[in-house]
Amino acid sequence: MIPHFSTVLEAARSGDEAAWAVLYDSLAAQMLGYLRGRGARDPEGLLGDCFLQIAANLHRFEGEESGFRSWAFTMAHNRLTDERRRYARRPGETPLPESEVGLPHAPGGTEDQVVAAMDGSAVEMLRELTDDQRAVILLRILGGFSTAETAQMLDKSEGAVRVLQHRALQSLKESVDTDA
């Protein structure tokens, strides 16, 4: 959580670099983890694009910190969707090799500790999920979003998000049981 979020937001709108650093630091690791976990070809580039879009549209944002996080992650989701469409239209382009899909290790908060605990086998298990299941798990667990926030970001109903999460967790449990 960002202490005094509304003050930091107003300072960032005014161009205060320290306020921008606070906003960036509060989101970057989780957004990068989401983009990497979803298999983005250039997660760092997409993250940069997201923050450029945030900067360009910050004057339009109204709300509290949870809404800001949802707004930023929606941009990340949309940028990833755009990237996939762009590469799908290019014949001969190969998708990102599975070995390069991973999650970041960034020391810090609870979400970062979860990411740090995810070894190669955890990333392999995530790859076995459907794209929608992976998105739900990454947003709910890594991003810390509620069912309603996740549904809004993915343009799905809350019921669909709950079903996707349940099925993903069942699949992950079966993977763990099989490996044990």
Query: Which residues have C-beta within 8 Å of that of residue 156, sequence separation ≥ 6?
Result: 132, 150, 164
| Whole-structure pTM value | 0.73
**Which amino acid is it at 38?**
R
pLDDT one-digit tens code per residue, 23-39 = 999 999 999 989 988 88
pLDDT per residue rounded down to tens, the chain (180 residues):
888 999 999 999 999 999 999 999 999 999 998 998 888 889 999 999 999 999 999 999 999 999 999 999 999 999 999 998 888 887 665 554 433 444 443 444 444 444 444 555 667 788 889 999 999 999 998 888 999 999 999 999 999 999 999 999 998 888 877 766
Q: What is the DSSP string of 106-146?
A: --SSHHHHHHHH--HHHHHHHHTS-HHHHHHHIIIIIS---
Residue of 25, 22, 8, 20 lying closest to 107 (CA atoms): 25
CATH topology of domain 5-179: Arc Repressor Mutant, subunit A (1.10.10)
Q: Which two tokens stand for residue 89?
A: 């239209």
Average per-residue pLDDT for the chain: 83
